[in-house]
Amino acid sequence: MTNFLAAPTGLVTAGTADPATAAAHFRHLLSVETDPADLRTDMEAGRGGFVVLDVRSPEHFAAGHVPGATNLPAREINATTTASLPGDAVLVVYCWGPGCNGADKAALALAELGFRVKKLIGGFWTWRTDRHPVAKGEAA
């Protein structure tokens, strides 16, 4: 076992992946994640092909959410609750933030149901912290 505390130098370069491995890793991340700035850019440009899903509770959704998002709590995702979602769209899911794995659970459930899915990096916390617009109120 490496004692990282005993060797304060070289931690950044230790175990560095070769460029091809790193490229494959980051290509994969970009295929399953997006960030608030990219999401907002696509929303403001009117680009279609995606649906934003807030996978938090209805109460948290009502208190504030990404404009245009649909509320579908992660625990309620199943074949019945997703039947009306477009099968050809990318579903962008988010929960509270970096300390919450609700978006990961939702993304897994949706992928297992056959949907293409991306997680919003940083969740609603990063969306709000980055000063993107916030909508309030219950789901339609």
Q: How far apart are CA 69 and CA 77, in angstroms?
A: 15
| Residue from 72, 74, 95, 109 carrying the catalytic annotation | 95
Give SS3 for 123: helix
Go through the domains of the chain in sequence order and give each one's CATH number: 34-129 (3.40.250.10)
Indicate the pTM of the whole model. Answer: 0.88
pLDDT in 10s for each residue of the chain, 140 residues: 455 455 555 777 788 899 999 999 999 999 999 999 999 999 999 999 999 999 999 999 999 999 999 999 999 999 999 999 999 999 999 999 999 999 999 999 999 999 999 999 999 999 999 999 999 997 65
Residues 6+ apart with CB under 8 A from 54: 60, 61, 65, 66, 69, 70, 71, 72, 94, 95, 124
* Residue 100 annotated to the active site: no
